[in-house]
Amino acid sequence: MEEASHAGRPTTPSGRDGDEEEPTGATSVFRFDLADTLTLAEHAITAPQRAEPVDDEPIGPALLLVIDDGVYLMSNGLPQLPPGPDQPPYTTVRVVYADNPGHDDPGPDGDDLVIALPLCQPGQGQLIDELRAAASIDLNTLAVAICGDEVAARVIRVPPAPGTPHVG
């Protein structure tokens, strides 16, 4: 997808706008901490304004999956949340980094990717409801899979690594 304008679009944590492109190639799966993701989702739902959709992005609250110098989620709500205490000092907005970035190529032709994950869409399952329900039943991870132009999001439970105390 070619992006005509970045007007109203939140900037990435490094202050750059993300270029919109369709993903291609093999399946990539990224995992995000559910509690932190839910904080971003609630912000997108309750923010007084939202970034303007680009191309065929749906209107309304969404998480933005960004793949550039890392892989992370951010809210499309404006104004953006300030960076979290565990974020690198150069970040300017709150994001949730993937637990397993493993993505060396930012996207087709080296461009960054920004993919909207709508939180509320009429006639479809509501991602915000899935996130809220999952948080209440000991699920702890949002997994996002990208294959070609298909994107799927599922909430799962990832057990702690061996030797790591279980929190929750």
**Per-residue model confidence (pLDDT) at position 70:** 87
> Tokens representing 103?
């993505």
**Per-residue model confidence (pLDDT) at position 92:** 93
Most confident of 72-86, 89-103, 116-130: 72-86
62 has a pLDDT exceeding 80: yes
**Per-residue model confidence (pLDDT) at position 145:** 94
Write out pLDDT tens, residues 22-37. Answer: 444 588 999 999 999 9
Average pLDDT of 135-162?
Answer: 92
**Per-residue model confidence (pLDDT) at position 160:** 83
- Average pLDDT of the residues of the chain: 80
**Per-residue model confidence (pLDDT) at position 21:** 44
111 has a pLDDT exceeding 60: yes
Write out pLDDT tens, residues 3-59. Answer: 333 334 344 444 444 444 444 458 899 999 999 999 999 999 999 999 988 777 888
Average pLDDT of 149-153?
Answer: 91
Q: What is the CATH number of domain 28-156?
A: 3.10.150
Average pLDDT of 113-138?
Answer: 90
